[in-house]
């Protein structure tokens, strides 16, 4: 592992030299690629250099334990305790930083939220969750674009699909996939009873054309006139698009735009992301069967979180975390949840990691 870190530092130094090369600067793509890699490696190098400094100071303190002066020995013993604790923390940080990076982490995402059990109350909560994620994205400077939505008659949403564009979007939100349960008194409830409803959330990395090979002959594309809630016409042209991927049977419908071409392009974006997700899930299932465990895959088959409005409580069932600040969370304040989930899954991954850095 130490050799890996030395290699990372050497690569970091090489990139620093490349970034001052006029030929690299003149090539925009090469320059941006080098900048991104330099930035990513810099996070590791800063910790590694501090780690090496602490290791040297630990060795110096150990040597002073044999000094003839009792006072110096006592000071060295005190220093050694603090330095050893910091070295252990840095060592753990380095092991996390060297974990294999998810190749999708920096990608944009498709966020799909659908009403489950609970009727109109579930549909209303779809809108609430979408606003929560939207505000979180806005705070990070990410762009949110609605690709498709199916509203209900009382202001809810049967489903909504949106693209969230921003570096690290998938890394931050990939653990949000699953069943989200809400417990509250619906507006239509006259006796004050608490109802339980559920919605499903899927977070898919955006797929580029190179990620998924879609043959034109594998697609059936139908166009028709868009319709809205209550059956009224959204527009008077056949702009709605339904794309069917024949080999998988996946169907995507987009009708929000007045342009048939825009709806088709949006539908293909959604289709590519779903096909990439299917491919990834198949690979994860195969790996899970091989090692009989699956870490950090964002399993969407079970309940992951409960939002209890009467108690102002949010509980994430995967990590046993309960926070009594539901109002803040619904306003987009999900950073603590995301950080705790990331730490949990990193800890899980470290169980299969290689031994620590040599002393």
Residue boundaries of the structural domains of the chain:
2-97, 103-206+325-359, 213-290
How far is it, in rounded angstroms, from Cα 304 to Cα 319? 9
Predicted confidence at residue 114, as pLDDT, reads 94
352 falls in which pLDDT band (50, 70, 90)? low
Convert the pLDDT of each residue in 49-72 to its tens digit.
999 999 999 999 999 998 888 898
Q: What are phi and psi of 331, to 5 degrees?
A: -90, 10
Nearest residue to 236 (alpha-carbon basis) of 247, 246, 224, 245: 224
Q: Which CATH number fits domain 103-206+325-359: 2.40.50.660, 3.30.70.1660, 3.30.200.20, 1.20.120.140?
A: 3.30.70.1660
Tell me what the pLDDT averaged over the chain comes to. Answer: 85
355 falls in which pLDDT band (50, 70, 90)? very low
Pairing of strands 157-165, 178-184: unpaired
Q: Tokens for 282, please give them.
A: 């198949």
Q: Which residue has the higher pLDDT, 280 or 149?
A: 149
Residues 6+ apart with CB under 8 A from 118: 125, 182, 195, 196, 197, 198
Task: Compute the half-sphere exposure of residue 330: CA atoms within 13 Å on the CB side of its CA.
Answer: 17
Predicted confidence at residue 351, as pLDDT, reads 73
Convert the pLDDT of each residue in 232-260 to its tens digit.
444 456 788 888 998 888 888 888 777 88
Mean pLDDT of 274-301: 58
Predicted confidence at residue 353, as pLDDT, reads 60
300 falls in which pLDDT band (50, 70, 90)? very low
The domain made up of 213-290 has a fold known as Double Stranded RNA Binding Domain (3.30.160)
Kindly write down the DSSP assignment for every residue of 270-335, as one continuous string.
HHHHHHHHHHHHHHHHHHHHHHS---S----SSEEEEEETTTTEEEETTTTEEES-HHHHHTT--H
How far is it, in rounded angstroms, from Cα 334 to Cα 183? 18
Q: Tokens for 27, please give them.
A: 């090539």
Q: Tokens for 262, please give them.
A: 């825009």
Q: What is the CA radius of gyration of the chain?
A: 26
Least confident of 144-158, 186-200, 259-273, 279-293: 279-293
Q: Among residues of the chain, what percentage have pLDDT more than 90? A: 43
How far is it, in rounded angstroms, from Cα 85 to Cα 79? 10
DSSP class of residue 233 equals: B
Out of 26-30, 136-140, 154-158, 351-355, give the one with best mean pLDDT: 136-140
How far is it, in rounded angstroms, from Cα 357 to Cα 344? 21
283 falls in which pLDDT band (50, 70, 90)? low
Convert the pLDDT of each residue in 309-342 to its tens digit.
999 999 999 999 999 999 999 999 999 999 999 9
Nearest residue to 55 (alpha-carbon basis) of 84, 77, 79: 84
Convert the pLDDT of each residue in 182-234 to its tens digit.
999 987 676 778 999 999 999 999 887 656 778 888 888 888 776 654 444 44
Q: At what angle do helices 70-97 and 28-64 cross, to 10 degrees?
A: 150
Q: Does domain 2-97 have CATH number 2.60.120?
A: no
Predicted confidence at residue 296, as pLDDT, reads 37
What element of type H or E holds 193? none
Q: What is the pTM assigned to this prediction?
A: 0.68
Q: Are 165 and 143 in contact (CB under 8 A)?
A: yes
How far is it, in rounded angstroms, from Cα 330 to Cα 326? 6
């Amino acid at each position: 592992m130490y050799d890996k870190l030395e290699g990372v530092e050497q690569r970091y130094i090489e990139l620093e030299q490349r970034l001052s090369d006029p030929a690299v600067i003149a090539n925009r793509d090469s320059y941006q690629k080098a900048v991104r890699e330099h930035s990513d490696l810099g996070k590791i190098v800063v910790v590694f250099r501090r780690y090496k400094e602490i290791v040297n100071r630990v060795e110096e303190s150990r040597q002073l334990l044999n000094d003839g002066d009792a006072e110096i020995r006592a000071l060295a013993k005190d220093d050694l305790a603090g330095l050893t604790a910091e070295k252990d923390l840095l060592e753990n940080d380095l092991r996390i930083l060297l974990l294999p990076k998810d190749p999708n982490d920096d990608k944009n995402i498709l966020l799909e939220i659908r009403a489950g059990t609970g009727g109109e109350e579930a549909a209303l909560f779809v809108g609430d969750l979408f606003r929560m994620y939207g505000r979180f994205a806005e705070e990070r400077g990410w762009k949110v674009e609605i690709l498709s939505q199916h509203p209900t008659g009382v202001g809810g949403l049967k489903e909504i699909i949106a693209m969230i564009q921003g570096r690290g979007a998938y890394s931050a939100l990939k653990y949000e996939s699953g069943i989200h349960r809400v417990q509250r008194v619906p507006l239509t409830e006259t006796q004050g009873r608490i109802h339980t409803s559920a919605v499903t959330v899927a977070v898919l990395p955006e797929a580029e054309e190179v990620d998924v090979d879609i043959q034109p002959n594998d697609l059936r594309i139908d166009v028709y006139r868009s319709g809205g809630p209550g059956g009224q016409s959204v527009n008077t042209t056949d702009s709605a698009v339904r794309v069917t991927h024949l080999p998988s049977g996946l169907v995507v419908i987009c009708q929000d735009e007045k342009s048939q071409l825009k709806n088709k392009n949006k539908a293909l974006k959604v289709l590519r992301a779903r096909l990439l997700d299917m491919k990834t899930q198949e690979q994860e299932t195969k790996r899970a069967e091989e090692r009989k465990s699956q870490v950090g895959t964002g399993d969407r088959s079970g309940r992951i979180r409960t939002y209890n409005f009467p108690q102002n409580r949010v509980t994430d069932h995967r990590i046993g975390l309960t926070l009594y600040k539901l109002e803040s969370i619904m306003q987009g304040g999900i950073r603590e949840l995301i950080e705790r989930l990331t730490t949990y899954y990193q800890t899980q991954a470290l169980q299969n990691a290689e031994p620590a850095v040599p002393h």
